[in-house]
Structure 1
Amino acid sequence: MRVLVPVKRVLDYNVKPRVKADGSGVDLANVKMSMNPFDEIAVEEAIRLKEKGVVTEIVAVSVGEAKCQETLRTALAMGADRAILVQTDDRVEPLGVAKLLAKIVAEEAPELVILGKQAIDDDNNQTGQMLAGLLGWGQGTFASAVEIADGHAKVTREVDGGLETDDLKLPAIVTTDLRLNEPRYASLPNIMKAKSKPMATKTPADYGVDVAPRLTVTNVVEPPRRSAGVKVADVDELVTKLKALGVAK
């Protein structure tokens, strides 16, 4: 069984974002970039399925500038077999990514697509659902456990009331949540091997997909700083202040 794992290059989660002086977006100059953490979980889950003998090939895919090759090499070092980069310098919105992935799915014919539930840069949480809609496939979102057997994927997902288990007929889309697994670190030998693994480079035009943005960012601002807390002498003073705020009666 072939598995497709889309990965995204984002601002490293340890880096504090800075807004550009003109308010046009986040400043990405000279900052550390890495693979989206939710996508790391997706890659790890695909590798674990391969280690169980369920999956035979893992194909990592990324959409973005040439530097996304570094992100794909990370996926290859973790254990993916080959990679596809759809190279473009334009900002591609979730719908554009989903359309490109749908074309790649038609070409590669995977039985499962595993991707992070959202990217930490824009938090849209849309690509997986849009891809499922375009393909007409079943989807299991926010997965905290995945089991593959007999042409079905059993996906356990966290909902407000507890846990929900969905039985999906393959092919299907699965988006990963934080509690699904803990991604492994790539070993030095695997990092060296990743350099020789195949990576195909395509463009959106190769798939006949228009990735022109449909949304315009008008302004980006940093969130307001939190005001300092207030110390109280005792519980009575605390209750008085809460009553004044309408929090307590």
Structure 2
Amino acid sequence: MALRALVGCKRVIDYAVRVRVKPDKTGVVTDGVKHSMNPFDEIAVEEAVRLKEKKVVSEIIAVSCGPAQCQETLRTAMAMGADKAIHVEIPSPQYETLQPIHIAKIMAKLATDQKADIVILGKQAIDDDCNQTAQMTAAFLDWPQGVFASKIDKEGDGLTVMREIDGGLETIKVKLPAVISADLRLNEPRYATLPNIMKAKKKPLDKKTPADLGVDLKPRIQVLSVEDPPVREAGAKVADVDELISRLKALGRI
């Protein structure tokens, strides 16, 4: 039996944009800045489409949480091959304090409502680098998880997932339904073609609110300050090892 896949698509500041911290240190500047789909989520969408091409998945539902502009991200996902989309609309003031636990609760509720068999998410977003949503989603659903996946194969009534760990590669088997998070080497996302971009405009896009899903967006974490990374000091050349040791001793490094 083919599976129903729910795929997360976060709208983030484009990876090529230099991020600037707000003067009041409460966050980063987002107004007038180019945004795009989180690269790890692009990989997640691509994997869902490939599973559909293999007849493993029958339907792909893309989900994005945030302001109205998230619909552009969802249209991109549908142009890549998702069948329909759900936009969980969150106004900008609430979106600024949105945290992985909120997204995990939303994804878990949607997975239940949509009768999904597999939830595929990017392993992390490039804006906050939290790497928490997939794990929390699996916990709320009480489903097995295969995170940091670099290869996914359907095997019997479950999945075989090769995952990247500090020591190399680990292969695990997970029963369905399951939550998967996509690592960088899982695949190379396709570009959306113009005909598919035009078709995506006609695909169904449903709108919901966190209240519709019974999710409270009260922040669980308080951000005290957002700072620019320290400026790296310029290096210096030394003539030989003796001079290097002398310099390090003078600096109190040895």
Q: Which TM class, normalised by the smaller chain length?
A: over 0.9
1:77 maps to which residue? 79
Corresponding pairs, count: 248
Match of 1:56 among 58, 65, 70: 58
Residue-by-residue CA offset, 1:151-191 (whole Å, 9 max, x unaligned): 11101011122211110000000001101111111111111
Amino acid in structure 1 at the alignment position of 2:105: K
Where does the alignment leave 5 or more consecutive residues of structure 1 unmatched?
none
1:228 paired residue number = 234
Q: 1:218 to 1:247 in 2, by over 3 A?
A: closer
Give the Cα–Cα distance (whole angstroms) in 2 for the partners of residues 148 and 229 of structure 1.
Answer: 51
Aligned position for 1:145: 151
Counterpart-to-counterpart distance in 2, 1:244 and 1:176: 47
- Measured on the aligned residues, the alpha-carbon RMSD in Å equals 1.5
Map of 1:99 onto structure 2: 105
SS in 2 for 1:180: coil
By how many angstroms is 1:246 displaced?
7.6
Distance 2:242 2:174 in 1: 56
Q: Give, as a single letter, the amino acid of the residue that structure 1 aligns with 2:37.
A: M
Percent identity of equivalent pairs: 61
1:65 paired residue among 39, 64, 67: 67
Instruction: Tell me the residue number matched to 1:2.
Output: 4
CA distance in 1 between counterparts of 2:210 and 2:158 reads 32
Mapped to 1, the partners of 2:151 and 2:244 lie a distance apart of 44
Aligned partner letter, 2:125: A
Equivalent in the alignment of 2:171 = 165
Cα deviation per residue 1:126-164 (whole Å; 9 max; x = unaligned)?
110011001110001111111113211101011122211
Q: What's the TM-score, normalizing by structure 1? A: 0.95
State the shift of 1:239 in Å: 4.9
Counting only pairs closer than 5 Å after superposition, residues 1-249 of structure 1 correspond to structure 2 as 1-89=3-91, 90-91=94-95, 92-241=98-247
Could you tell me which runs of 5 or more consecutive residues in structure 2 were left unpaired when the two chains were aligned: none
TM-score by length of 2: 0.93
Partners of 2:99 and 2:195 lie apart in 1 by 36
Cα distance in 2, alignment partners of residues 239 and 143 from structure 1: 45
Alpha-carbon displacement from aligned partner over 1:59-107 (angstroms, at most 9, x marks no partner): 0001111110011011011111100000011122111111111111111
Deviation, structure 1 residue 243 = 6.2
CA distance in 1, matches of 2:122, 2:82: 16
